[in-house]
Amino acid sequence: MSESNEKLSADFTNFIEGWRKKHQLREDDPLLLCLELFRIHQGHWDDLRRKDLPSFSEFRDSLLEFQQEAAAVQRDATALMEELRKLPKPSRFITPTLGGLLLTALFSVVTGILIGKFIL
């Protein structure tokens, strides 16, 4: 891949040189200096992009690892769902406890006494 980039760079340089001669531009023409500055800038960003992008094999390995992790999570989720299905279903009616019934009766009696004493 670097050989093709070098060939393209050489072709581009030859093309620019032909264009410069055709239009009779000097070596220190501002347009050519801007073009050289652009090439420096582009080369810098190309180097940064090559460093940041993972290679295809790294990307493939990451995808394979992700696939294995996803399969493990799916297996664990399936096992959890099977275990939850084995548990007895909770009833909607919760039976009252003795303490709850006694407290309710006590509050009812106290409320009745207070209503009779203060309101009636």
| pLDDT tens for each residue of 9-52 | 788 788 888 888 888 878 777 887 888 888 888 888 877 777 76
Is residue 24 in a domain? yes
Is residue 119 in a domain? no
| pLDDT tens for each residue of 52-80 | 677 788 889 999 999 999 999 999 999 99
Is residue 94 in a domain? no
- Same domain, yes or no: 8 and 39: yes
Residue 9: which domain range? 1-53
Q: What is the pTM of this model?
A: 0.36
Is residue 59 in a domain? yes
Alpha-carbon distance 55 to 58, whole Å? 5
- How many structural domains does the chain have? 2
| pLDDT tens for each residue of 74-116 | 999 999 999 989 988 777 777 889 999 999 999 999 999 999 8
The number of CA neighbours under 13 Å toward the Cβ of 18 is 6
Is residue 23 in a domain? yes
Alpha-carbon distances of 102 from 57, 93, 116, rounded to whole Å: 72, 19, 21
pLDDT at 1 over 70: no
Is residue 65 in a domain? yes
- Same domain, yes or no: 73 and 45: no
